[in-house]
Structure 1
Amino acid sequence: MRFAVSPMWEVGTSFRLLHSGSAHPVHRPWAEQVRPRLAAAGLDRGWLAELIPPSGYVPDFLNPAPAGSAPTLAEELAWILAAPAGQVRQDLDRLRHEQGFLGPRSRTLYAEPQARLVRVTEEIESYWELALAPYWARIRAVLDADVFHRARQVAEHGTAHLFNDLHPSLSWDDNALRLTRRQQTLTRKAAGAGLLLIPSAFTGPGLLTRVTLPEPPQLAYPARGVGSLWESRPITRTDAIAAVLGRSRTRLLTELETPASTTELAHRTGLSPAAVSQNLTALRNAGLVSAHRAGRSVLYARTSIAESVLAAACP
């Protein structure tokens, strides 16, 4: 048994939340920023819109078993591209059975899996840049903190305690792991060896499973701390940082509580667009800011390094 943080699990669950149109109480601030970007890019009606329905089954080839504890999106996309044609068609057959139909893109994917998977992964990359990459430092911090907490639970209290605390529908008793309200019984003979536990920010209140032989079964569960993921974190003590970075760059970092473009930052701070661009370039070169293409504009976001610097100066 091991833990893994999977970008593709966050892609699928976050897209489903956005595609459903629901106003999620926790993720509303994020969704209100991201939905207009997806619509402008046409990603609300592309490959993912057909492959990830608002509810029900999602093709297993979109969630390859992570080989390590924290694969990159590029690594997971390479595994998707390497999915055997037979598996892709088998997953699409199940999707057709559960939905009653396949969309036009999904039908072309069924006919030419290897050629069309390239288009699917290209769209996933575009979605990632618009919806998740600008926020990944914050999301990843929550997921890593969950794994640290769970690993400590195992070390101090044992695996049984971990499972009994992980989710209300999960229990460990009499040497068996039980999931209540699962549609189909999961036996060891029907699953690969081992178990992958994957914390997620967007799964919602339930558990999600993925079982495909010969890979180990995957169990995605809601990460601890998601409820405060998008809460505003006021930064009040910036003098020490300003003494090192300068007031303009410190102001830009504090304004990047949510990702923003150069134009937006210029409007908020009163700095000229040229000055904002120059300072963002310096912050990016220092590893404090990341840039993400969003249509014709670029969104800037704080990195995990910047978050750590701000947290240290403003405990």
Structure 2
Amino acid sequence: MEAELVWPGGDPAGLRFAVSPLWEVATSFRLLSAGLAHAVHRPWMEQVRPRVTAAGLDRERLAELVPCDGYVPDFLNPAPAGPTPTLAEELAVLRQVPAERVRRDLVRLEREQGLSLGPRLRALYDDPEAQLPKVAEEIETYWQLALAPYWARVRAVLDADVMHRARQLAEHGTAYLLNDLHSLERWEGPTLRLRQRGRGPRPGAELVLVPSVFAGPGLFTRVSPPDPPQLAYPARGTAGLWRPRPVPAADALAAVLGRSRTRLLTELDIPAATTDLARRTGLSPATVSQSLTALRDAGLVSAHRTGRWVLYARTAAADALLASRTPEATEPHPGRPEPTASV
């Protein structure tokens, strides 16, 4: 089965890329919901699934809106207004989705899943204006638990993909870019054919390409006029996303930051809570807390709070600092326990 996207003229001016937090929310939540082992994302899933379950998100609106397979309501992925919208900006758009669009998508979800809407989604159907803020609140909770602590790493992969594709477009043109994007689509200007897709985008002058680390190995399309059609595809470099980072040569860095703070930065290759870091390092919780505060003030650590969870993660600046002190020989990354509490 094929679907077609007719893109008049294939004009590069009508082609744009966007890195979308909401696309990563939907695709990653689906991956968790499927409950299957995943060769690439298994380390992330093992860390995140207990948090999502503990927060009850596997039993709320998001779980009903994002089934394990099949259709996901289009209103969850509004067209990005720019190349790098923040989650807050995308959620602001989601909260304002017209009621008729929400109802249309829910009717389609009910039809394609072959199941009646549950009480939560029925309430969303009856009163989208009142219920969409609750959906956005659930997404924000999920983001803080599952994606925010890892976003610097994810974003680096997505940005690198966009830079690669932009270079392809500049050096080889539209046809080369689109034909290299994925094996399930091919460009036969002015038509983009999506093989094995049941429903394709309608004609439009603009096409938004959205790289995703969680979308693979397939393609996702989103068509909701008057928004431009979107095509989400697997980002290059995803296979190495969760590979352990090299252990840095810490002595020189410790002379500047101190041994405790340097040790904490190296431990934060996996986002963790204060008590978990204290257990790993042997430092007192008070020392860990004071050090994390100093590192956060310096822009080297970010904190992500949701309910009882407070997870700390290295920033891109810290990754760059550690990479600059990395020896050629690296050590294997030890297994790390799942954080069990926050301080």
Q: Runs ≥4 in structure 1, deviation > 4 angstroms?
A: none
Q: Which residue of 1 aligns with 2:96?
A: 82
Determine the C-alpha separation between the residues in 1 that align with 2:301 and 2:317. 9
Q: Which residue of 1 aligns with 2:331?
A: none
Q: Which residue of 2 aligns with 1:67?
A: 81
1:286-297 correspondence runs (5 A): 286-297=298-309
* Contact 2:153 2:316 (8 Å CA) reproduced: yes
Q: Which residue of 2 aligns with 1:313?
A: 325
Determine the C-alpha separation between the residues in 1 that align with 2:293 and 2:260. 13
Q: Which residue of 2 aligns with 1:34?
A: 48
Note if 1:47 corresponds to 2:61.
yes
Root-mean-square deviation over aligned CA pairs: 1.1
Determine the C-alpha separation between the residues in 2 that align with 1:218 and 1:185. 10
Residue 240 of structure 1 deviates from its aligned partner by 2.5
Note if 1:246 corresponds to 2:258.
yes
1:300 partner SS: strand
Residue 286 of structure 1 deviates from its aligned partner by 0.7
Determine the C-alpha separation between the residues in 1 that align with 2:43 and 2:65. 25
Q: Which residue of 2 aligns with 1:216?
A: 228
* Closer, same or farther: CA 236–113 of 1 in aligned 2, 3 Å: same
Amino acid at match of 2:55: A
Q: Which runs of 5+ in 1 are unaligned?
A: none
2:121 aligned to which of 86, 93, 106: 106
Determine the C-alpha separation between the residues in 2 that align with 1:88 and 1:297. 32
Amino acid at match of 1:53: P
Determine the C-alpha separation between the residues in 2 that align with 1:290 and 1:283. 8
* Contact 1:262 1:273 (8 Å CA) reproduced: yes
Percent identical among aligned pairs is 69
* Contact 2:201 2:221 (8 Å CA) reproduced: no
* Closer, same or farther: CA 236–88 of 1 in aligned 2, 3 Å: same
Q: Which residue of 1 aligns with 2:21?
A: 7
Greater CA drift, 1-10 or 177-186: 177-186
* Contact 1:9 1:63 (8 Å CA) reproduced: yes
Determine the C-alpha separation between the residues in 1 that align with 2:26 and 2:137. 15
Determine the C-alpha separation between the residues in 1 that align with 2:98 and 2:214. 28
Post-superposition CA distance 1:151-199 (Å, at most 9, x none): 01111111111111110011112432221111135441xxx43000000
Determine the C-alpha separation between the residues in 1 that align with 2:211 and 2:288. 36
Q: Which residue of 2 aligns with 1:263?
A: 275
Determine the C-alpha separation between the residues in 2 that align with 1:185 and 1:278. 53
Taking structure 2 as the reference length, the TM-score comes to: 0.89
1:313 partner SS: coil
Residue 25 of structure 1 deviates from its aligned partner by 1.1
